[in-house]
Amino acid sequence: MRSPLRILIVAAASALLIGQAQALQYRQSKTVDDNLARTLLQYAKDAPPQLHKIIGDVPIYVMDDIAMFKSPAVARELKMNRAFQQSVSNGLAGLAMWPIAKGRGFRSISLFADKIRDAPAERQRAIVVHELMHQLDHALGNASQNRTFMAAYKTDVQNFNKMTRTMSAEDREFFNRWLGYYIKSSHEAFAEVATHLVYPQSNGDERAIFFGVFSNTAAALEKMLRARDIPIDVRKATPATIDWPEAGSRSGSCLIGEGLVRPCTRQ
């Protein structure tokens, strides 16, 4: 039987220091590109120290692809049962896990190089930070399910659904493809909106639409992050109104986190 460590080797011995005391454990597959792996690790290390302090020591695995994640060796390494392992979506660029039940893996982040490799730098960073934000959600006791967060999130979901209902089918498809992943799950909205509060995307139009759609979620999260001294980027802005159809006619890069791997350009 092959040892998991023949696939996942320690690439940077566990003492990469963050701030005073936090170590970032990091493993990469033998076949993954070293530069890419180093870049992704750097994005994780660059995240605010206050964030690392709360989430603690979470090992980060950089794997070639989801097929490697679904191998028997990785099931053993991450303590996943095979049924759970095989149920993970093949479309993901990254995955944050914590043991919500026996066999559901141990607290870790997995990143899949094949999906991330060709993405723009800020999107690569967003994928890494998105996974860190899932760990923050977990470390704060499932904050994406608490009453304050849920009230804000549900308001944004209702507004999004109301707006998209009146659009052309084409526009609706565009916005659902871009933002639907976060509209369908408060966990995903938490991770992605928190990512954009700390690292907003550089495209001002997309940034305005994103924070327009998630205005209530962003306000609730901003309060939560500020209360924990996690710095918010000043570029974050909430527009009073969103010009939906015009926005939809742009071809944007639609910078997003793990869930949407297709380019979000309009056909």
Q: How far is the CB of 169 from Zn ion (least distance, A)?
A: 27
Order of all β-strands in the sheet with 108-112: 8-10, 26-29, 60-63, 108-112, 94-97
Return the number of the residue (85 or 135) whose C-beta is nearest Zn ion. Answer: 135
**What 3-state class would DSSP assign to 120?**
coil
Q: How far is the CB of 167 from Zn ion (least distance, A)?
A: 26
What is the Cα–Cα distance from 31 to 11, expressed in whole angstroms? 12
Q: How far is the CB of 188 from Zn ion (least distance, A)?
A: 5
End-to-end CA distance of the chain: 48
Picking from 91, 57, 88, 134, the residue whose alpha carbon sits closest to that of residue 80 is 88
Under rule CB under 5 A, residue 24 binds Zn ion: no
What is the Cα–Cα distance from 155 to 179, expressed in whole angstroms? 15
Under rule CB under 5 A, residue 191 binds Zn ion: yes
With the C-alpha atoms ordered 257, 259, 261, 262, is the resulting torsion angle positive or negative?
Answer: negative
Question: Is residue 90 a contact partner of residue 14, using CB atoms and an 8 Å limit?
Answer: no
Return the number of the residue (74 or 256) whose C-beta is nearest Zn ion. Answer: 256
x/- mask, Zn ion, residues 136-175, rule CB under 5 A, reads ----------------------------------------
Q: Degrees (nearest 5) of the Cα angle 104, 33, 255? A: 70
Under rule CB under 5 A, residue 126 binds Zn ion: no
DSSP 86: H
Question: Is residue 203 a contact partner of residue 234, using CB atoms and an 8 Å limit?
Answer: no
Q: How far is the CB of 89 from Zn ion (least distance, A)?
A: 10
Picking from 92, 104, 101, the residue whose alpha carbon sits closest to that of residue 131 is 92
Q: How far is the CB of 240 from Zn ion (least distance, A)?
A: 29
Number of residues that bind Zn ion (CB under 5 A): 3
x/- mask, Zn ion, residues 237-266, rule CB under 5 A, reads ---------------------x--------
- Within 8 A by CB and 6+ apart from 57, the residues are 22, 23, 24, 25
Return the number of the residue (38 or 177) whose C-beta is nearest Zn ion. Answer: 177
Return the number of the residue (110 or 244) whose C-beta is nearest Zn ion. Answer: 110
Which range of residues in 23-31, 139-147, 190-198, 217-225 is near Zn ion by CB under 5 A? 190-198
Return the number of the residue (32 or 111) whose C-beta is nearest Zn ion. Answer: 111
Return the number of the residue (111 or 191) whose C-beta is nearest Zn ion. Answer: 191
x/- mask, Zn ion, residues 72-111, rule CB under 5 A, reads ----------------------------------------
Residues that bind Zn ion (CB under 5 A): 188, 191, 258
